């Protein structure tokens, strides 16, 4: 079967917007999936906006810690650049994840983030 859409779940972590401050997404539940990927899309940067992306994980959806490099496939850049796509896989075993886009300096960046939940225990995925 070549259909990928019925094998993954997509959750919007950060709605497309111009971010002017640090953005921490809501907790995203990975129950029923055995892997995930983070996709960050960027647009224009204004006023030399410098943002650092990272992924955090949690067992309970409340107490989060940064994901260890060993639980990532690929790496996040030190800073997001304009008009780009960042893709990083998550192979950790925590139930919840969330994205954090930290403003280090400057004014703003147009960005969005999506969590793609994969390796579903049950298919097709709604």
pLDDT in tens, 18-61: 999 999 999 999 999 999 999 999 999 999 999 999 999 999 99
Domain 5-120 matching CATH 2.60.120.1110: the answer reads yes
Domain borders along the chain are: 5-120
Region 98-120 average pLDDT: 96
Across the beta sheet with 72-73, the strand order is 9-19, 108-120, 33-46, 85-90, 72-73
CB 116 within 8 A of CB 5: no
Does the pLDDT value for residue 66 go beyond 60?
A: yes
Instruction: Tell me the whole-structure pTM to 2 decimals.
Output: 0.94
């Amino acid at each position: 079967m070549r259909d990928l859409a019925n094998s993954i779940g997509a959750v919007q972590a950060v709605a497309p917007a111009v971010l002017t401050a640090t953005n921490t997404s809501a907790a995203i539940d990975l129950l029923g999936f055995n892997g995930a990927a983070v996709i960050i899309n960027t647009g224009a940067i204004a006023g030399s906006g410098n943002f650092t992306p990272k992924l955090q994980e949690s067992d309970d959806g409340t107490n989060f810690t940064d994901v260890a490099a060993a639980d990532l496939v690929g790496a996040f850049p030190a800073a997001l650049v304009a008009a780009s796509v960042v893709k990083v896989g998550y192979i950790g075993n925590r139930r919840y994840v969330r994205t954090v886009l930290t403003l280090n300096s400057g004014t703003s960046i147009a960005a969005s983030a999506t969590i793609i939940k994969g390796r579903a225990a049950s298919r097709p995925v709604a």
